[in-house]
Structure formats: structure tokens, C-alpha cells
Amino acid sequence: MFAVTATQIHPDNPLAGLTLGERPDPEVPGGWTTVTVKAASLNHHDLWTLKGVGIRKDRLPIVLGCDAAGIDEDGNEVIVHAVLGEGADETLDPRRSLLSEVHDGTFAERVAVPRRNLVPKPAALGFTEAACLPTAWLTAYRMLFDRAGLEPGSTVLVQGAGGGVATALIVLGRAGGYRVWVTGRSEEKRARALDLGADRVFESGARLPERVDAVMETVGQATWDHSLKALRPGGRIVVSGATSGAAPPADLNRVFFLQLSVVGSTMGTRDQLGRLARFLEQTGARPVIDRVLPLTEAREGFAAMERGELFGKVVFTVGD
């Protein structure tokens, strides 16, 4: 089968380790099944794998990709949940992994997954839309509707416009009844955030007209000081990433004096993925897609992500 594989690790030139070509069909352990992939979406996780983040060299070669939608062995249209783990909340399983970390991922004509990781795809969602959900959109859903502890009408600040999680936070926050403010370095991306439904946009680090109820933080070190200063007393930062660095000054005096909460959030559960799909079905909200490419042209999508040229998701289509 055709697949997109990480064959080498190159921290400074990640695309040098990207290989497109034939791979053996997936092996199917007991309790697992296969999905014929119709669409799969790109995440920063895939680029980081090529840089050697979160994976050992002895795992290579490994098929990349966390997210997919396709058809199961019984002919059902499904979304693949990317988290492999046990328990009611598999994200809390200390042995959890994502597809493409221990087991081959979704950038292939077929992928093997545990049967419990299949979620029905609503007919209202196309395969390209559904393929965007399991990582970035599920992360945003859990941040907003689970970890933030907010009621509709609350004000949420999203740090950094343009990435998959950030665009998902804007669309979901708007559909969920929040007042959504967004920061961004680029005037173009700030304008596009307004088009998506953001109520107000600001330059990165700008002083806000009032303090917010919660900050959705995926950038990390570059925005951390601004995130703390943007919160009202008793407010909450929900952290799901640190793309600019993981060790900012904590400013503990501000944290305890204003009784701020810092809450971590990672991915989401299979049940939350199902609810996210139904939420989109019910509200009409849809993923933001930057571009759709055939899997055979995956290198173009990886290159655009490395250059930071994206606004929304890159989706690869497979087959017809």
C-alpha cells in the first residue's frame, strides 16, 4: 500500500526524513481492525516526529499521521480516535500513545486501530472535514468545554491565530456562545480570525481593554507573561501546547495573589470525539481547511507547515 513514512530523524531538516512510497499492509492484532482511509489531516506532531521529538530512532520506519476518516471493515463511515489507551479517560493512561508513535499512523491507504477507537461519522460531515477532528479539533473541544469550566457568554482569549487548534478554538468558541478574542502577529491572520467569528483581534502582547475569564494557551514561552496578565482574578489558563518553549518565568506571585488556575489539557476521549462530531452536526460549524492535497503530494503540505504558511488544516485525500 502507498504510505507516508518517517524513515530518518533530522532536527534541522525534518523533510529529509520523509519518505513516500510502498509499505506492507498493516498487521492486525486481536481486538483491532482496519480502516480504509479516505482522508487524513496533518498535525505539528507529524513534523515533530521527523525532528525526533517524542520518538526513538528504533521506532523507525513508522507511518506518520494521527488523524483519519474512512470506511471500516463492515462498510461503516468512521472517524479514527488517535489516542491508544485504556480506561474511561484514555488521555490519563500513563502508557497511552498516539497513532504514529508506537503503531503505524494514518497517512496510508489502510490503518490498523483498536475497534474501540472507531467513532461513527455523521453523514453531515464529509471525509475531509471529519479527518480534521481527532487531534486539533478534539484538543480545542476539551479545552473549551471541559477544562476551562466556563459558561456561555464568558470571554476567552486565544493566543495565536492561524494554527489548527487556534482556528478550532475560534470556531467552537463562537458556536458555543463565548466571546472570543484572539491575538496574532500577522495582520492577515488577525483579519481571517475575524472572518471565522472572533469578536475582537489584537496584536501579540497588546494591552487588552479588559481582563478575560480564560486564556487558551498553545504557544507557551512567547505568550505566557501576556496570558497571566490578561486574566481576571480567579481566571484560568488552559494549556495544551508550548510551541515557542516550555519554560517561561512562572510569575508565582501573580498566580497566588490573583488566585489564578493553570490547567493542562491533552487531546480528548473517544466519547468527546463523538460529541464533537455531533456538535458540528447540530451547529453547522465546520473545520477550517487551508488546503486539500492527494496523499501522493504530502511533501507539499509538510513544507507549508514548516514554513508557517497555514491558516487551518492540511488534509490529504486517499484513493478516489
Same domain, yes or no, for 82 and 141? no
Q: What is the model's pLDDT at position 319?
A: 83
Task: Classify residue 223 by its DSSP letter.
Answer: T
Q: Is residue 13 part of a domain?
A: yes
pLDDT tens sequence across 177-212 = 999 999 998 899 999 999 999 999 999 999 999 999
Q: What is the model's pLDDT at position 244?
A: 81
Q: Is residue 77 part of a domain?
A: yes
Q: Is residue 196 part of a domain?
A: yes
Same domain, yes or no, for 188 and 111? no
Q: What is the model's pLDDT at position 303?
A: 97
**CA–CA gap between residue 281 and residue 276 (Å, rounded):** 9
Same domain, yes or no, for 81 and 11? yes
Same domain, yes or no, for 117 and 209? no
CA angle centred on 260, ends 272 and 166, rounded to 5°: 45
Name the pTM for this structure: 0.95
Same domain, yes or no, for 259 and 207? yes
Domain holding 244: CATH number?
3.90.180.10
**CA–CA gap between residue 198 and residue 108 (Å, rounded):** 35
Range of the domain at 142: 137-264
Residue 238 in 3-state DSSP? strand
Alpha helices, H only, the chain: 44-51, 127-130, 138-142, 164-175, 187-196, 224-230, 252-257, 270-283, 298-307
Q: Is residue 221 part of a domain?
A: yes
Number of domains, the chain: 2
pLDDT less than 70: residues of the chain: 320
Indicate the residue type of 95.
R
Q: Helix 298-307 vs helix 44-51: angle between axes, to the nearest 10 degrees?
A: 90
pLDDT tens sequence across 37-87 = 999 999 999 999 999 998 999 999 999 999 999 999 999 999 999 999 999
Pairing verdict, β 62-63 and 200-203: unpaired
Q: What is the model's pLDDT at position 212?
A: 98
Q: What is the model's pLDDT at position 292?
A: 98
Same domain, yes or no, for 63 and 98? yes
